Amino acid sequence: MMSFNKRTNLLEEAESLLEKLNRMQKFTDKYSITPSKEARRLVDSIANLAESIPEIESPQNQEQLIQSELKRRLKGESVNIEHLLSGRPYDFKTITDILAIPDEDILSLRPWLEENKEKTQEAVERLFCSRNIDEYELPLASDIPSVRRQAEEFAGVHIQKYHKTLGKFLQGLTEVGVFLRDINAVPTTQERSYFDCLRNNLALSIPAICFSREDGTLSIRDKELISAYGHEGMGHALNFVITRSGKLPHFLTKNSWQNVSTAESVAQFYENVLIEDLKKSPETQRKLGIEHKFSEIYQEAKDTKQLREYRIRTLEYAIFVLGDKSMGNPEDPEVVRKKTDIICEVAIDKNYVQSLVQQNRHNFDSEGNLNSQLVSELRYCAEPVHRGLEEFAKNGVNYDEKGRSMIDSTFLKGLWTPIGFVENARLSAQDIH
């Protein structure tokens, strides 16, 4: 056990080192070069500090939890800079280490695909039979200024209505709901929605949530708006705002490659939570003006969720197979064929697999490592939330009316590595007794 003073010093030292790292990253961003001597000194200090913290297998209290997470985080940061300085190519393992993706989540991709193949195929057929698509949803003609202005205003009105209505609704469901008041919801012309944590702007993508009918009138894709609000608003935005509001050690409040995969797991979870919440509240559906079509929105959300998950996991599994160096020279046609066959065994859309593999045929470095950008897509496959929920369930706390506030405030407070996130959930769950 560390004394109070020693622990305070440890956190202060970590804060000062991570601040230096942050300054260096800003420098590198501006001048496109890393000051290598300074970086060398920094990486040694970070590694030494990590080394000085005792290894704790399974933390038994808050203090041990913070220490073990700090050790993990500092180690991860030092691996990252160390690699940067070495100039070595990025192999598969280095990237998944930098992103702190648990091996078990990568290894469970194939079993998941096997288990869900039939179910997903059924969802596709059901989706086709249940939906009578009688006209195309056309993209907005944003190149025409009057259309663009009209779309901006149209999207803005709907976003405001959703933000106000959902904000009030969620406040009644969970303690963390009040924090939505600190967030501004605005439209953006970007293709993807995002949360800007410096300005607290929840920016929802106009092209994603709006479309034009064949007769030129504008329409909202309510399902898209609900999932974007769930993912970016209830997930990323609340995660940041609540993290900053709490009394957490500095290192748990800072973005890092070590905690992005957890943040995505959290955001994906809340994307699903919001649609389930809405299902239970006809009154909120009415306030949003979607009660007449909600059952359709809901079923489509469920079916497309299954589809999308299947597609994403197929891509992630393909990355895992493509990145497997043990299968031989990645540009050898025989190896390419073998890899395609392995991926196709669990894929529904074989054409997609074929074109994915072909497109990436030459996307390897001279040592046979798959392109690092592509490998880093695996950050979306970590599933700490799933394990966190299990920890709560073991202690009799479920994600329902009663247990929800407790789980929400645990999940949304702090930026943790996947392992730290689950440990934190375990301790919070045990704390209730």
Residues in contact with Zn ion by the rule CB under 5 A: 264, 267
Closest-approach residue to Zn ion (CB): 267
Choose among 323, 355, 322, 325: nearest CA to 339: 322
Q: Is there a contact between 319 and 110 (Cβ–Cβ < 8 Å)? A: no
Least distance from C-beta 173 to Zn ion, angstroms? 22
Least distance from C-beta 66 to Zn ion, angstroms? 26
Least distance from C-beta 253 to Zn ion, angstroms? 18
Q: Which residue has the tokens 């905690």?
A: 259
Sign (positive or negative) of CA dihedral 243, 248, 251, 257: negative
Least distance from C-beta 262 to Zn ion, angstroms? 11
Residue placing its CB nearer to Zn ion in the complex, 91 or 105: 105
Q: Is there a contact between 271 and 235 (Cβ–Cβ < 8 Å)? A: yes
Least distance from C-beta 194 to Zn ion, angstroms? 8
- The three-state secondary structure class of 239 is helix
Least distance from C-beta 193 to Zn ion, angstroms? 9
Residue placing its CB nearer to Zn ion in the complex, 223 or 339: 223
CA R_g for the chain: 23
- The three-state secondary structure class of 237 is helix
Least distance from C-beta 235 to Zn ion, angstroms? 7
> Rounded to whole angstroms, how far apart are CA atoms 248 and 225?
32
Residue placing its CB nearer to Zn ion in the complex, 264 or 303: 264
Residue placing its CB nearer to Zn ion in the complex, 123 or 267: 267
Residue placing its CB nearer to Zn ion in the complex, 154 or 380: 380
Phi, psi of 193 (to 5 degrees): -75, 155
Residue placing its CB nearer to Zn ion in the complex, 77 or 264: 264
DSSP secondary structure of 243-302:
HHHS---GGGGS--TTTHHHHHHHHHHHHHHHHHHHHT-HHHHHHTT-GGGHHHHHHHHH
Least distance from C-beta 267 to Zn ion, angstroms? 4
> Rounded to whole angstroms, how far apart are CA atoms 407 and 223?
25
Residue 220 CB neighbour total at 10 angstroms: 19
Residue placing its CB nearer to Zn ion in the complex, 263 or 429: 263
Choose among 233, 246, 255: nearest CA to 183: 233
> Rounded to whole angstroms, how far apart are CA atoms 373 and 20?
26
Residue placing its CB nearer to Zn ion in the complex, 33 or 198: 198
Least distance from C-beta 202 to Zn ion, angstroms? 12
Residue placing its CB nearer to Zn ion in the complex, 222 or 264: 264
DSSP secondary structure of 361-388:
TT-B-TTS-B-HHHHGGGGGG--HHHHH
